[in-house]
Structure formats: C-alpha cells, structure tokens
Chain A
Amino acid sequence: MTATAEPTVEFGKARPRKEDARLITGRSRYTDAITPSGTLHIAVVRSPLAHATITGVDKSEAEQAPGVVGVYTAADLGLEGVGLPCAWPVTPDMKAPQRPVLATGTVHFAGEGVAVIVARSPAEARDAADLVEIDYEPLDPVLDMEAALADGATLVHPDLGTNENATWVFDSGEAGTGTSVSDAISAAEADPDQVVVRRRFRQQRLIPAFMEPRSAVCDPTGEQITLYAATQVPHILRTMTTVTLGVPESKLRVIAPDVGGGFGGKIGVLPEEMLVVALAQKLGKPVKWSETRSESLLAAHHGRDQIQDITITAKKDGTVTGLDVKLLADMGAYLGLVGPGVPILGAFMFNAIYKFPAYRFTCTNVFTTKTLTDAYRGAGRPEATFAVERIMDELAVELGRDPMELREQNWIKHEEFPFTTVCGLTYDSGNYEQATQQAMELFDYAGLRREQEERRRNNDPVQLGIGISTFTEMCGLAPSRVLGSLSYGAGGWEAASIRMLATGKVEVITGASAHGQGHETAFSQIVADQLGVPFEDVEVLHGDTQISPKGLDTYGSRSLVVGGIAIVKAADKVIAKAKKIAAHLLEASEDDIEFAGGNFTVRGTDKGRSIQEIAFAAFMAHDYPEDMEPSLDSDAVYDPENFSFPHGTHLAAIEIDTETGHVDLRKYVCVDDIGNVVNPLIVEGQVHGGLAQGIAQALFEEANYDDQGTLVNGTFVDYTLPSAADLPSFDTRTVSTPATSNPLGVKGVGEAGTIASTPAIVNGVLDALRHLGVRDVEMPCTSQRVWRALQDAQGRSTQETPVDTHSPGAGLGSIDPNNPQGEVQ
C-alpha cells in the first residue's frame, strides 16, 4: 500500500476559516469591484413621495448632461408590462399588484424608481438623476395597517379593491391536530379556575442592513449574458430573470461573487437587477448598478412589522389550554419574492416548545405605501418566538409564578420526543431541561434573583431584570412536499456534486450560496471526513450558475442541514464507485473491500489503495470494471424529510437606571442545542452575530415613517445599528441532542441567536420595571421609552419632553424631531 493521507477527524474541529485569506488581505471580489471594459453605470431617479400620480417626466436636461448615454422610463424600455415575481401566493385568492421595474402612472412608496439614467461614470449618472424633472400629484399615504383595512380607506392599489393582500388561517380544531381554540377561550372565560390573558405586541419594522450595499453588473458581451449580483440566491435569480424578462435560462449565467452579508435582505429579484439586464441587452455594453446606503435603507426590502394580538388560556395551576394568534402584517406597497409567506412561516412556531392542546393562527397581510417587507433573519419565526415568550411571561405574572418554572411545566419533556405539535409538525429531538439547567447555572439564576429582590427592597435607582427566552425554531427549509402544501413556488431540495481530480484534489460543488457563513470551511471539513482526504485538498465551489448549475441557495438555516446533507449523499456515491474500482484493481470481491480514513482495503489483508490512487486510476481509465464508467464524480439532490428543530435557553440580566431610563445589558448567557457541531468556531460566530441582531431589535433599531410616508431613517446616523461599544460579550454554549432526520445529526444555527434574544431582552426590561407599575415598553426599548413608561406608570407628566418619534435610538439624528423642517428658532 502506498502512502495515503492520515485519517482525519474534521467534524467538530474549531478550524479557522479558509475563506478568510482573501477577505483579510483585500483580495476580495464583491460585485462593485467588477467593472468590465466599457461598463456603463446607472442611477435610478426615485420618488420623494410615498403616494402620488406621475403627471409628467421631463428628461431633456438630463439627456444633455455630460457623459449621459440615455434616460429611460419603463415605457421607453418597453417594460411597462413587466412585473417582478412573487413566488409565494399564500392563498388562492391572494391579491397581488404588479410590482413594476419602474413606476408608471402612480408611485406607491417613497424611494420607488421612476426613471433610470445610463452614463459613463457613476458620478455622471447621479448628477444627471438630479436633472430629471418629474411632476407629481400627491395622493394620501396609507401608513397605518388598521386604518388601511377600515371601510373607506385610501387604497394603495385601487384596482385590487382592498388593502388586504390575503388572510391565512390555521386552526388546530379544523386541521385535526388539536382542539378548538374558540372552545378553549369560552371554557376559560366561564371557569373561575382558569385565566385568559390578552396582550397586543408590536413588531417594529426593521431593516436588514447588510454591510455591502446591493450591486449588479450585467455583461452582455459573449454568447451568454452574465449577471453578477450581490445576492443570496443566484439560482433563483437566474430562473426568475427568465420568468420576468424572457431571457432564455440557458443564455443567462448568474454569479454571486463575494457577498457582504444578506440576512434575508438579499433574497429577492430587484427592479435594478432587471434594469441592468434590460439595458445591457439594449445597449450591448456592460451595465452596472451599485446603490448608496441611503438607497439601500429606503428601497431594499424591510423586515418584521406586525401587530400581534395574542390570547393565552391556562388553568390556575399553570397548565396552558389554548393559544390564539391574530396578526396584521405590513407587506408595504408591493409583494416581495416571498414576502406574503414570511409571517406564515411563523404560524408553526407560536406554539413553540409548549404543549398547547388548542391553537389558532390568523394572519392578515396588509398593503401600505411603505417599502415592501420580506425575509429578514428568522423570517416569521422571530416574530412568533417573541410573542409566545412574552405571553408566557405575562401569564406567569398573572398567575404569580416563576416564569421559568411555568415554562418547564408546559414544555415537551425530553422523554416525549419525537413529539407531534398542535400544528402537526414532528419535533424529532430536543432536551429543553438540559439546555435550561446549564444556562441557569452559568447565569447564576438564583443569585441574580436574590440580587433583584435586594435592589427592589432598597429602592435602588438601578433596578435589575431577568429575561428568559426558551425558544425553538424550524430550520432546514424545507421538505418540498410541505412547501407544496403551502403553495410555495419552488421546492426545498439542495444539490451537490463532487469531482475527484486526477491529482487527488477534490472539488465540491454546492447549490448553497454563502455570503459570510463559512461554507467553504465547513463543507471542506465534512468532505474531508467523508472521503478521508486532507481538509486542504478540498475546494468548495459555489455561487455561479455555470459552475454550480443546480441549487436553491441560502436562507432559512438550510445550508448545512439541506446542502451539507446533499454533499454527504454525493460523497456516498463517490465511495460506492471507488469501491468497485478498488475491488477490481485489488482483485477482490467488492463485498470484501472496506473503506476507512481514505483507504480501500481488502478485509483481512494489508492490501489496499487510497482514494487518491483510485481517482487517478479512474482518470487514466486503463483498467476499470466493465460495468461502470471511468469516473468517480457524483451528483446528489437531497430533499429533506423534515425540518430540524434547534432550541435553546437564553437568559439576560438587564440593569435599568430608573432615573434616566438607560438600559444596560449586563450579562447574556445562552445554551443552544443545534445538534452536532461541524465547526464550533463558526457556530459561535453565528450565535454572536445573531444575538447582536436580535438585541438590536429589542433595544436599538426601528425604521420609522413620518406622517407623509417618508422614511426618516435613511442613513446609518438615523438607523442605529449597534456598535461594538453598545454590546457586551456574550456567554454562549452548546449542548447536543443530535437531529434524527439527517445523517449528520445537524440542526442549523444561522438564525437561532436572532430568534431567541429579542424576547429575552424585552422580558428582562419588563422584569426590571413591572414592580414600578410599568406594563409594557414597545421595541426598541430605548432610554426615552423606558423613562417615559416609568413616568407614566407613576402618574408624572411627560408632556414637556416631546416624543422623539423619528430616531428612537439615536442622539445624533439628522432630523431634529421637534423641528423637522429645520426652521431657525
């Protein structure tokens, strides 16, 4: 036997990432770095008004500006009839307006494109954009969801006859997966030994705010049109560009080069992407668009934005008996690629880890004249988790119970898995007791409760709150049949290929499309173990529809749980083929060949061949079995049989200065069960980043519109992402009950931190304030809101302090909320 690679055990190793080498040296290739010779640049002329009739477009001055190649409206480009796709008709009678590439006739949100400039340089394009004169006849903006649904409301799209997009209902009584919630509520209302708790929660509007602004370059030179795009979904974008513009799919290559974050915000088919394709075809030159940050905040899709009316019923001993969820979800002016389905994804998660016998979910999607909403990290599940974890705390208060004890009384016990929930999902594995016990120990739950008592007793100006969130989520989107039953416009499988090169190197091709997740490293680790080759010898290729022709991309914590399993399946096929060749070369029966650590050996002998030798033999093809082709290369498409269900216990210690309202996150502990861990370093990073985004929803971020429908957080001065100085270090741990639904036992981690942390923080804020009479604080729980809630609770006037509605987290807002017109005083 010749020298072979040492057997590797990569699974579970904290490997620093291989993709870092290019990113830490500036050898990156984000879309904006791609400028083929002769590239023309576009700038979009955007509506400053939320709702208006376009009465005239005067392009003449712009057309004469230096470097300008052309100025176009939708009509000039023949694109008036083109509508951008929505792939998720949630109900058969869903109302769907055409989402134009450029507005024609009426603009429906501030920031919507009306015309496009093509020029020699980005600066010349922007200069000329200022010279386009557009006349508008203003219409009333539609801003409030409840008002939008009232009789006589101004209609965003009059031709639809309503501002209601769709109403989607799940009722466990009707579905046969549980009993009737109406009955549960009536019973509870009639029974002195039961309680009914009703609360309204607000999920504010958020902006994904990936660090790389969106960008697209279309190069029409050559036989195939190449579209480079800062996208999470190159495969979906390719298919959808064909559907939208009619470019044959076989003539279109989409490349997602390095992509600087997405968080759901880069799932989409953008008007600007369609414009660069149409203009490149028209002009025969590469055409490029790179947005400014302000354009991104204004026009890239937003997330969340729900009003949640939650009713929970329980016996006085704490046993929950029913959960009724009524949502209003703001779609904005149009439907995004999966926008109407985002709140529906939450439908299966409001019941969370608890054994509700009766459950109903009713969601009405509403059109307003705001930027459209679509996926943002967690997509439907953070909203659900927030509501259920908040209402469990409210129930605990109502019953005078410790909130953790009440949760434990109602959650699925570890010995009850697999457990079919009131929604009909089967949770395959989990151990809520284990994660919770570890988290409480790390956190010193008992000690902090004692300190809290002491501070309350002493009327300490700084009060302590303890926030709990025991969450679960559904990951690994998704079993295709389930998506079919939800009328989703695609499957949920993922594709992989493995190519064994003549020199022993391995190319792994995945349909998942990384934008920061570390696929190149994690997938290399998996393949190194599966094939017994060195980690360094594995090259992961992705994000280019010509290299990776088949895939459904990256979102919904699916890359490892679906894409990773596809790779395992492809590796299995490589090994099966290699085994045949090994048996042939070693003159042994295939049944006597064993494979371990990259070596095929004949059982009971020292005869063997390494997988690299077999790969070379297959390449040479001088001597191989007659009943096979001379190749080890293999493809696989994996369609998951179930979702996976990571869970965890998150605990936050919140200090609130009751004199100023300042909220300080003193300590954050979480223990997540994400199944088996491929790379603990990457997992830790995903959890940290997820926590930061979830905490930011609780404390810092909100997209606000003024009464004219103008977004007032159009810069990073006003849309306040947390900086390093705003966050503490987190104590994050993992435990594992492996998933039983896939061969790696993995569950997914991309969204966990975001989903879990928001309610932990808000529960902590309220826990610090409730004894002072505060019942609720809307997110983000800024100093101002907390201070105001405290003043209100104590009957003090706050009228002399005007409400800063524009910029809740920012002290440096570019608009003075009390003097929005900037008048000299």
Chain B
Amino acid sequence: MAQVRVTVDGVVYADDVEPRTLLVHYLRERLGKTGTLVGCDTSNCGACTVHLNGQSVKSCSVLAVQVDGAEVTTIEGIARDGKLHPVQEAFNECHALQCGYCTPGMIMQSIDLLGDNPDPNEQEVREGIEGNLCRCTGYQNIVRAVQSAAEKMKPGAQADVQSPVSVAGGGD
C-alpha cells in the first residue's frame, strides 16, 4: 500500500492505496466521485478527464499515487455555490449532450481548452477536444457550446463568472 494525500474538489483526503490503482478508480471507488466516468482502457475516449493542478488529464492514465500533494477537480467540483460553470450552462443551452456519458470529460477538457485559448475558432475547438470521443452528438453542438461559453467567459461579459484558469485550478 502507498499513501496518498490529495485535495479533490476542495476536500483533503489521505488514503492508503494499492500502488497500481488508477486515479479514476480511486476517484470513483474510494471517494464516490462517480460523476467521472470510464469509457475505454486505452486513454482514447477521454470520458475520465479531470483537472490535475489546473490542467486536464485523463484520469485513467494517472496513478493515484502520482497525485500525492496535488489538487484534483472533477465534474462534481466546478459549479460554485449552486451556480453552474459557464461551460456546463452552455452544454445545456446548446444541446451538447445526449446520453451524457462523454459529457463530464468533454466539459473538463473544454474548460482546459478555454483556459489556453479563450476565443477559439471552430477548428481550434475541434482540435482541442479531439482526445474526447462522443458517439451521440456528431460534435457540432459541443463545438457550439464551447464557443458560446467562450463568449460568456470573456472579461466583462458576465460579472459573476470567474476566469476559466482559476476555475480549472479547482479546490481554491
């Protein structure tokens, strides 16, 4: 067993884990963070995407022991005080999800993308979410949602929205 001490969605956890435990399994099975989903075994689908110290990672390709001392934010930790993150809102408004299985990962990746590029064009969005597979939507409304969220998140667009970078940091 190895020790891991990690902040997830603002809460500090200290646990003994099997060294081989993947972060996604630690989140789901130990912490009950079942909003983060598993869709493949080969890091292709991106359903398990979370933020690790503010950067998106596929949590199936990170060992739980690797996040010792880090901050992790999952889909369950991005709404603030009952208010949805603008990307969550945009996914609803633009009908960017159907079965919802790729959605947590897709939202986490989109937030990361907007942190790097606050005003992406269509092609930049498509390339930015290329590592996240969706079987339902044909991606068109996801692209629309990301661009719509980018509009909302522009400085001054909406006074009460925090910048994506700080949201992506999680746990603060």
Contacts and interface: CB of A to CB of B under 8 A. Distances in A.
Given A16-B93, A25-B84, A723 B35 contact: no
B140 A24 contact: no
B92 interface: yes
Contacts of A123: 18, 20
Nearest to A259: B99
A515 to B, nearest CB: 6
Interface in B31-47: 33-42, 44-45, 47
Interface in A16-36: 16-17, 19-30, 32-33, 35
Given A684-B141, A689-B138, A518 B98 contact: yes
Majority secondary structure, B binding face: loop
Nearest to A29: B34
A692 B95 contact: no
Nearest to B88: A24
Contacts of B18: 123
A565 B82 CA distance: 37
Contact of A26 (B104, B131, B136): B104
A729 B130 CA distance: 15
Given A24-B84, A24-B107, A725-B126, A685 B137 contact: yes
Contacts of B79: 25
Interface stretch (A98-106, A155-163, A209-217): A209-217
Q: Which of A21, A25, A212, A263 counts the most B-chain CB atoms under 10 A from its CB?
A: A25
Contact of B92 (A21, A691, A723): A21
Contacts of B153: none
Interface stretch (A109-117, A566-574, A714-722): A714-722
B98 to A, nearest CB: 4
Contacts of B76: 25-27
B74 A26 contact: yes
B45 to A, nearest CB: 6
Given A211-B135, A258-B100, A263-B135, A33 B34 contact: yes
B138 A691 contact: yes
Contact of B102 (A211, A686, A692, A729): A211
A263 B28 CA distance: 26
B126 A211 contact: no
A728 to B, nearest CB: 9
Contacts of A724: 125-127, 129-130, 132, 134, 139, 142-143
A685 B98 contact: yes
Interface string B102-116: 111001000000000
Contacts of B98: 261, 516-518, 685-686, 689
Contact of A23 (B40, B97, B140): B97
B23 interface: no
B101 A26 contact: no
Given A27-B35, A212-B99, A259-B99, A725 B133 contact: no
B83 to A, nearest CB: 11
Contact of A210 (B122, B129, B135): B135
Nearest to A24: B88
A684 B141 CA distance: 9
B75 interface: yes
A693 interface: yes
Given A25-B84, A685-B136, A723 B130 contact: yes
Nearest to B85: A24
A258 B39 CA distance: 15
A173 B76 CA distance: 62
A137 B140 CA distance: 50
A727 interface: yes
A292 interface: yes
Q: How large is the interface on B (under 10, 10 to 19, 20 to 34, 35 or more residues)?
A: 35 or more
A124 to B, nearest CB: 10
A721 B101 contact: no
Given A211-B45, A717-B42, A25 B138 contact: no
Interface in A502-531: 515-518
Given A691-B138, A716-B44, A723-B130, A213 B35 contact: no
Contacts of A17: 92, 95
A191 B88 CA distance: 65
Interface string B10-24: 000000001010000
A681 interface: yes
A481 interface: no
A16 B125 contact: no
A733 to B, nearest CB: 14
B135 A209 contact: yes
Interface string A238-282: 000000000000000000001111010000000000000000000
Nearest to A210: B135
A521 to B, nearest CB: 10
Interface in A23-79: 23-30, 32-33, 35
Contacts of A727: 126, 138-140
Contacts of A259: 99
A688 B132 CA distance: 17
A676 to B, nearest CB: 19
Contacts of A293: 39-42, 45
A213 B99 contact: no
A16 B41 contact: no
Interface in A704-762: 715-717, 721, 723-725, 727, 729-730, 753
A294 interface: yes
A687 to B, nearest CB: 8
A682 interface: yes
Given A213-B38, A717-B42, A724-B126, A30 B101 contact: yes
Given A209-B135, A211-B47, A211-B135, 6 more contacts: A17-B92, A20-B97, A26-B33, A123-B20, A259-B99, A261-B136
12 contacts: A25-B35, A26-B35, A211-B102, A260-B99, A261-B99, A294-B41, A688-B137, A688-B138, A692-B135, A723-B133, A724-B134, A729-B143
Interface of B: 18, 20, 28-29, 33-42, 44-45, 47, 74-76, 79, 84, 88, 91-93, 95, 97-104, 107, 122, 125-127, 129-143
